[in-house]
Amino acid sequence: MSSVARVTTITARSETSFEDAIRVGIERASSTLRNVEGAWVKEQKVAVSGSGVTAWHVTLEVTFVLDD
């Protein structure tokens, strides 16, 4: 069986961790896109205030299979 996939770029933010930002991004993408198959973490960055990290940001390349 053949399939065709598409990749879309999303960004997500968490005030907890990179892992949480990834989870939030995948959950949100899955609520809008059908057939999400995986994601590549393209970029990670943090927001800093004073000497502490205040937020974790990720850019994800989300892959989903197109319907026939």
State the Cα–Cα distance between residues 30 and 28, nearest whole angstrom. 5
> What sign for the dihedral angle of Cα 16, 20, 21, 25?
negative
List the beta bridge partners of residue 67. none
pLDDT in tens, 2-52: 899 999 999 999 999 999 999 999 999 999 999 999 999 999 999 999 999
Query: Can you give the residue ranges of every domain in the chain?
Result: 5-65
pLDDT for residue 68: 81
pLDDT at position 1 over 80:
no
Q: Which CATH number fits domain 5-65: 3.40.50.10490, 3.40.50.620, 3.50.30.10, 3.30.1660.10?
A: 3.30.1660.10
pLDDT for residue 2: 87
